[in-house]
Structure 1
Amino acid sequence: MFEVLIQGKTLRWLTRVSCSVSFFIEGYQAGILGGVQTTSQYLDAINNPTGAYVIPMIASSYTLAAAFMSVMVVVVGMPLGRRNSIMLGNLLIIAGGVIQAATFSVAQIIVARVICLITCNVAMYMSEMSIHARERGPEVAINCASLLAGVAISYWVDFGFTQMTNQFSWRFPIGLQSLFAMIPAIGMFFCPDTPRWYYAKGREVEGDMTLARLHGVYNPATPLSEAHDQAIQLVKAEIMQSIQLEAEQENRLSWISLVWDNTPLRVGRRVRISFIILSIQQMMGIDIMVYYMTLIFTQVGLSAFLASLISAVCLTVQFGGALLCIPTIERMGRRNIMLLTSSVQSVCMLIFVVLEGMPHKTDATQWAAAGILFPYLFMYGWGWVTCPWLYGPEIAPLKYRHIGAAAGLFGEWLFTFVTVFAGGIGIQTVGWKIWIWPLVFNFIGVAFVYFMCPDPTGKTLEEVDALFVKDANLVNRLPQGLEDKSNVQELEKV
């Protein structure tokens, strides 16, 4: 019944909402501790821990667990599927959020945050469910904008509730994530897995059915409508052709190719890029800001009230940058946006380091240091949230896409842990010097994108292979795009 009713625009809308809310939750849980972890109510509940490492360990604990789970996805990602992984992640959020809200010790809240995991398959799922190459970027950009909306809203929730002086002031904001997680958990139940996953698993009938449902032409009596069969079969032919090439012995991923890649399809190099680009994204220092924004502004010299208010405003500005990415990611291209934004970020971070390192600060230099974070976060939201998240799943071959996504998320979560844990200690011990670290990696980001990242904008996931292949004979065997795109354009109107 649902296979008949939920298809076409309704199905695509449901997948977008489910994926966007999943990203929103990830941003919300990343930011929600930032505004409460210095309040007396919260510290009293966990017995006022001492030591510079305790609060950073609480904040970063779930990121280390997420790094481990990203490695596990290499093993279970393909058997479990994209859809089931997302559903499982949201169920874990529901359980972990409740335990966090009920915590009365450091150990309990660390265990609860370890449970709260959203898997790395959300961006990959959304990319593979897009029915046209030009839709892929904006759809994932909407997801990532939702992530930053989650961060911003978490700080606004904190700002409102921390004006209270009871335990409800921090328990309700933290527990709210469990309510949010029910939305995608239920939504994904009515969605299929991606057609590319079905074809890669040899489940051709279900792949055909999902393609037809995405295009809104599914009929239980005839899985593919005769009127649109040719256009859908052309899409299917590209996917099957890529699967066949990836299955050939010389194109298979090996441990050696991850280090020194001599495969015709450059599979190892593409997995490495997925890992490195999301590692650089985190080493730019964004999560030091997100997790400790209120503390940073307090150290700049602002009152606790102003620090909380400006933190919320600042992260709302970052969300504004992500909104700009939606209409520009296909017009400007992933590569150009990342180059532009990382260049501006480098300049902003250099100014921030200089202002923070001045021996005799004035009110003017303190406000200038706070102010320069606004364009930094806007640019980061525009270029370095969506583009790296999308880039890894885009460039990885189909049968290894879950590995590429897992490698990218392993890099993201590993270096999120490093930056949040070490950064939190560094803010309290070495002060402004900790910002030299993200300054260096902003410049590295410019160089890495320029030399290592070709632009997949406007290409189908199957056509991306040609960007990395050097063998002319193999290029001729790769999908070169649909021969007749008029039928596909008609399908997009359905």
Structure 2
Amino acid sequence: MPTFLGMSGRPLGIAITVILTFGFVLVGYDQGVMSGVITQPLWIENFPAVKGDATLLGFVVAVYDIGCLLGALFCMALGDKLGRKRSCFTGGSLVILGVIIQVASVRGSNANGALAQFIIGRVITGIGNGVNMASMPVLQAELSHQARGSLVCLECGLIATGTMLSYWLNYGVRNYKDSMTWRFPIAFQIAPALLYIAGVNFIPESPRWLCKVDRVEKAIYVLAAVNGETLEGKHTSDDLRAIVDSISLEQKIGAAFRIKDLVAGGPSQHWRRVIIGISSQFFQQIGGCNAIIYYFPILFQSSLGETQERSLLLGGVNMIVYAVFSLVSFFTVEWFGRRKLFLTGSIGQCISMVITFGCLIPGTVSAANGAALGLFLYIAFFGATYLTVPWLYATEINPLRIRAKGAALANIVNWSINFLVVMVTPIMVANIGWGTYVFFAVVNALFVPFVYFFYPETAKRSLEEIDLIFAKGYVEKISYVKAGKELPPLSVEDMKRLAVQYGLSDHDIKTSRPESENELEKASTEVINGGVHNEKV
């Protein structure tokens, strides 16, 4: 029986999840660490240009998201060439490089030069995490079956654990008398980065990507290990056949990816699926999550009049709430579904922002305590829904042909809006005060109709079944939400039959499929006869 790390089946699945978890914790840590760093007097002393300049402060914090945007663009251009594993390794390595550059920033005689170095380090760290977030959910989804939702949500939920860790580490070093009060929290992220890089080397590559680049033998080995069965096992054969058929269908318009594939219509509905994936990431960011996460201590000081120490403490408590509620989607994403979580999050976040701005209007201390409750409620609703589900949904909603590029494009939108929100939040708070929260309340309310009418349910569906939801909606001229509700669970043979019925399989595919099946049989025979028993996958 094939193994990785000496494991197969469920134990291997758990090991894959644990290893990728370090990458998600790393992303969350980096999102939260600057919230405490920018309140430290010694950091401001090292970079005096940011003192009293809300725009420059916003830029220094937000420039990380520009790096993440560049990382997503990198994956869009080269992700399919590198593969999922090598992309993850590249992302982790860039994070370490960026961190070293940041912590090595010394003011000396040129304070502006030190700030420029710090900014460059943040950009490189952002590139690394942008690559990670464009690669890790795809790798996890393609190494999982219908339970991929719970696994991806668990990992993305651990972003909140990373953020919580950064908040409490900032609180723990708040009274240091030297630059370690800000250098150590930034440098600490090297630890999870090293664990992540080391672990990624030992987990399997995506079998879907391996098939896509004609490495079918290795894909069989990986599938057998993931399924916990022999190379000729039934589940492995069924999974591989479904993947090969799906790739054949995806390649009917040409073997090489073209930009126009992202906007293809017809039964595959690429353009609609790309827009849905992008919108989920857009909603995540424009709803105000990182206005809270990046600036929670600053918001408490400026909006609620708290001291620095109490603001850091309350921020740490809020992040505990965030981390606890981030686990909700792990238990609910499959049985409750993606749609209901999106709707619950949109309504809950809207109500939380209404409470926040409503309690800030009077301008009294007692009313401001109610605003604090609103911020706590917001982070709880966000952690339980929008923190995790968009990363999963933007990955699984796209078909294999454009999955890596579609997910990367959604990430580009995510990081672009993230940059915008993080950049303008200090300016908004300084100029319109509680009006900042009015804005976020309105935009969260606007999410509800879009999700209700355009997001089909994908829970308990294989990635190949999702293709058929869109084909059914297109051919039968019904809403894709309705198509998802009406389509029953499908076997491999059902999927092949419906692919023909809905026009996903034309003459070219019908004539090429026997070649795919002959290739599959040939590869299977070679594997069974020992062709890849000794090959390192």
Report the TM-score, using the length of structure 2 for normalisation: 0.83
Aligned to 1:285: 288
Match of 2:519 in 1: none
Find the structure with the greater CA-based Rg: 2
Which residue is equivalent to 2:530?
none
SS of 1:19's equivalent? Answer: helix
Q: Distance in 2 between matches of 1:303 and 1:472?
A: 61
Shift of 1:458: 0.5
Distance 2:34 2:355 in 1: 28
Aligned identity (percent) is 29
Aligned residue number for residue 58 of structure 2: 56
Determine helix, strand or coil for the equivalent of 1:33: helix
1:347, 1:286 → 2: CA distance? 14
Task: Show the 5 A alignment for 1:77-226.
Answer: 77-104=79-106, 105-116=114-125, 117-118=128-129, 119=131, 120-130=134-144, 132-133=145-146, 135-217=147-229, 224-225=231-232
Kindly state the Cα deviation for residue 431 of structure 1 after the two structures are TM-superposed: 2.1
Superimposed CA distance per residue, residues 236-256 of structure 1 (whole angstroms, 9 cap, x where no aligned partner): 111111111111129997655
> Is 1:406 the counterpart of 2:393 in the alignment?
no
Contact 2:31/2:294 (8 A) holds in 1: yes
For 2:344 and 2:427, the matched residues in 1 are separated by: 31
Task: Single out whichever of 18-27 and 69-78 deviates more from structure 2.
Answer: 69-78
Q: Are 2:495 and 1:481 aligned?
A: no
Q: Which residue number corresponds to residue 243 of structure 1?
A: 247
Aligned match of 2:305: 301
Contact 2:267 2:475 in 1 (8 A): no
Find out whether 1:440 has 2:442 as its counterpart. Answer: yes
Residue 271 (structure 1) aligned with residue 280 (structure 2): no
User: What pairs with 1:253-268 in structure 2 (closer than 5 Å)?
Assistant: 258=262, 262-268=265-271
- The verdict on how the C-alpha distance between 1:473 and 1:36 changes in structure 2, with shifts beyond 3 A counting, is closer
What per-residue deviation string (whole Å, max 9, x for no partner) do you get for residues 241-275 of structure 1?
A: 1111111129997655756x533200111112111
Structure-2 residue corresponding to 1:221: none
Q: Partner residue of 2:20? A: 19
- Partner secondary structure for residue 36 of structure 2: coil
1:212-257 superposed Cα distances (whole Å, 9 cap, x missing partner): 1112335xxxxx14xx2x2211111111111111111299976557
For 2:73, the equivalent position in structure 1 comes to: 71
Tell me the amino acid that sits aligned with residue 122 of structure 2.
R
The answer on whether the counterparts of 1:251 and 1:267 sit within 8 Å (CA) in structure 2 is no
Q: Distance in 2 between matches of 1:234 and 1:378?
A: 40
SS in 2 for 1:316: helix
The 3 A distance-change label for structure 1 pair 366 and 205 is same
Distance 1:429 1:245 in 2: 54
* 3-state SS of paired residue (1:376): helix
Does the aligned pair in 2 maintain the 1:242–1:479 contact within 8 Å? no
Cα distance in 2 for residues equivalent to 1:236 and 1:413: 34
Partners of 1:376 and 1:385 lie apart in 2 by: 11
In structure 1, C-alpha distance between the alignment counterparts of 2:94 and 2:261, rounded to whole Å = 34
Q: Secondary structure at the match of 2:383?
A: helix
The answer to whether structure 1 residue 375 and structure 2 residue 377 are counterparts is: yes
1:184 alignment partner, SS class: helix
SS of the residue corresponding to residue 452 of structure 2 reads: helix
Match of 2:398 in 1: 396
- State the alpha-carbon separation in 1 of the partners of residues 366 and 183 from structure 2: 37
Q: Indicate how the Cα distance of structure 1 residues 417 and 71 shifts in structure 2: closer, same or farther if over 3 A, else same.
A: same
Which of residues 359, 371, 380 in structure 2 aligns to 1:355? Answer: 359
Aligned mates of 1:262, 1:195 — CA distance in 2: 27
1:338 maps to 342
Secondary structure, counterpart of 1:264 in structure 2: helix
Asked whether the 8 Å contact 1:257–1:263 carries over to 2, the reply is no
In the alignment, the residues of structure 1 paired with residue 247 and residue 490 of structure 2 have an alpha-carbon distance, to the nearest angstrom, of 15
Could you tell me whether the CA contact under 8 Å between 1:258 and 1:272 is conserved in 2?
Answer: no
* CA distance in structure 1 between the aligned counterparts of 2:48 and 2:408, rounded to whole angstroms: 37
Give the whole-Å Cα distance in 1 for the aligned partners of 2:165 and 2:368. 25
CA spacing shift, 1:24–1:479, aligned 2, 3 Å: same
Q: Could you give the per-residue CA deviations for residues 400-459 of structure 1, whole angstroms, max 9, x where no partner exists?
A: 110111011111100000000111222223322222332222112212211111010000
Flag structure 1 segments of 5+ consecutive residues without an equivalent.
Answer: 219-223, 485-494
Q: Which TM-score applies when normalising by structure 1? A: 0.90
Structure 2 letter corresponding to 1:216: G
Q: Which amino acid aligns with 1:268?
A: W
Shift of 1:14: 2.6
Contact 1:74 1:403 in 2 (8 A): yes
CA deviation map 1:284-314 (0-9, x unaligned): 0110111110010112122222111111111
Could you list the runs of 5+ residues in structure 2 that have no partner in the other structure? 107-113, 478-482, 495-537
* Cα separation, partners in 2 of 1:4 and 1:318, compared to 1, 3 Å: closer
Contact 2:9 2:226 in 1 (8 A): yes
Report the residue type matching 1:294 in the other structure.
Answer: P
**Alignment-derived partner of residue 492 in structure 1:** none
Q: Is the 8 A contact 2:9 2:225 kept in 1?
A: yes
Q: Could you tell me which amino acid in structure 1 is paired with residue 289 of structure 2?
A: I
1:458 and 2:460 matched: yes
Pick closer, same or farther for the CA change 1:47–1:362 going to 2, 3 Å.
closer
SS in 2 for 1:462: helix
Give the aligned residue type for 2:63: S
Q: Which amino acid aligns with 1:38?
A: T
| Count of residue pairs the alignment pairs up | 470
Aligned counterparts of 2:7 and 2:283: Cα–Cα separation in 1: 39
